[in-house]
Amino acid sequence: MDPKTASNLSFILNKPHDVEFKSRDLPTLSDPHDVLVAINYTGICGSDVHYWTHGAIGHYVVKEPMVLGHESAGTIVEVGSAVTTLRPGDRVALEPGYPCRRCGPCLSGKYNLCPEMRFAATPPYHGTLTGFWVSPADFCYKLPESVTLQEGALVEPLAVAVHIVRQAVVTPGQSVVVMGAGPVGLLCAAVARAFGASTVVSVDIVESKLAFAKSFCSTHTYSSQRIPAPENASNIRALAPNLAGGADVVIDASGAEPSIQTSLHVVRTGGTYVQGGMGRDEITFPIMAMCLKEVTAKGSFRYGSGDYKLAVELVASGRVDVRKLISGVVDFEDAEQAFEKVKEGEVIKILIAGPNEKKE
């Protein structure tokens, strides 16, 4: 593809519920380690929808028009003079956040915690719902022949799940409860299975999501009731023999207060609880349960060293079939309708075909 004649149409958020399509100048390579990528497919994330509806997430506020999107796969069109690992035509999954590589967190191996992080579609940085994108070569992950570009766009949420499950240190034979059966919750359940967990319970309040979870990867599901958290927890513990003493690992991928409360009651003594979902800033937290059971509690934020690489490997080896999560693919010009569908909860994952790509 010749970038000079191709489209750099971009999907831009001006302010909440005010989006436009605009052709922007073609980006150019300024660093010899950078590559120019034509975007083929982009998934829509809850965070994209939140910026679209609210114009902010926490202290990240959209003040200037911002290109949305960060879950993308594309094709290399040009490489900088120092790039030896990629060549034009290579198909890649794009890791969309670029750390400084020099600060304390970066040098300690936790670059996802870099305070200088430039993350796509997190103000003030533009996102990937555009024609062409410049990335450092080492943040592009070459897709094996067997992996499609559509699957490549799912690597981003899968990497989020990989990071969460690694934070939880899931090992073979364990019991894992995942609160929330949205895309990240489903992928956490799938990664936990791939890591050898023998019992994986998906918990949600929406029956259709649980039915999907069962068909996708979960060994058990539980429909959360409007009852006290300890009661929901004891119902979950009754689902399988190796849950009787509580779950080895509980992952919250919902961010919802009742789910977090249930998490602390369902985890076993000495077990691990990881908070992956983001909801309200502050909640009522059963801290006594955490203390008395000596629970290991961790947060999880985006992804770091090795997570993208493993995510690509899980797709390539067929251990996580991300294709099942793709509810549909829309043309670039229909991006806003796709956002509407995600907001309404009608789809699991919808992909937007890049402006230079027609949907299949």
Interface residues toward Zn ion, by CB under 5 A: 45, 99-100, 103, 106, 114
Complex with Zn ion: residue 3 or 136, whichever CB lies closer: 136
The CA distance from 73 to 38, in Å, is: 9
Complex with Zn ion: residue 236 or 338, whichever CB lies closer: 338
The CA distance from 7 to 198, in Å, is: 48
H/E stretch holding 249 reads: strand 247-252
> Which of 323, 356, 306 is closest to 146 using CA atoms?
323
Complex with Zn ion: residue 86 or 274, whichever CB lies closer: 274
Complex with Zn ion: residue 99 or 185, whichever CB lies closer: 99
> Shortest gap between Cβ of 85 and Zn ion (angstroms)?
22
> Shortest gap between Cβ of 200 and Zn ion (angstroms)?
22
> Shortest gap between Cβ of 149 and Zn ion (angstroms)?
17
Complex with Zn ion: residue 55 or 97, whichever CB lies closer: 97
The CA distance from 156 to 131, in Å, is: 19
> Shortest gap between Cβ of 247 and Zn ion (angstroms)?
26
> Shortest gap between Cβ of 152 and Zn ion (angstroms)?
14
Retrieve residue 82's tokens.
């120092």
The CA distance from 38 to 132, in Å, is: 5
Retrieve residue 114's tokens.
């870099």
> Shortest gap between Cβ of 77 and Zn ion (angstroms)?
24
> Shortest gap between Cβ of 312 and Zn ion (angstroms)?
16
Is 351 in contact with 41 (CB distance < 8 Å)? yes
CB atoms under 10 Å from CB of 12, counted, come to 20
Q: How far is CA 205 from the centre of its chain?
A: 21
The CA distance from 174 to 186, in Å, is: 17
The CA distance from 37 to 93, in Å, is: 10
> Shortest gap between Cβ of 101 and Zn ion (angstroms)?
6
> Which of 139, 156, 133 is closest to 67 using CA atoms?
133
> Which of 108, 252, 114, 100 is closest to 176 using CA atoms?
252
Complex with Zn ion: residue 94 or 250, whichever CB lies closer: 94
Positions of E strands within 18-70: 18-23, 34-43, 56-57, 60-61, 66-67
> Shortest gap between Cβ of 351 and Zn ion (angstroms)?
13
Amino acid at 156: E
63: left (phi over 0), alpha (psi -120 to 50) or beta: alpha
Is 217 in contact with 243 (CB distance < 8 Å)? no
According to DSSP, residue 347 is labeled: -
Complex with Zn ion: residue 41 or 222, whichever CB lies closer: 41
329 phi and psi angles, rounded to 5 deg:
-130, 130
Complex with Zn ion: residue 295 or 342, whichever CB lies closer: 342
> Shortest gap between Cβ of 321 and Zn ion (angstroms)?
19
Complex with Zn ion: residue 29 or 103, whichever CB lies closer: 103
Complex with Zn ion: residue 111 or 212, whichever CB lies closer: 111
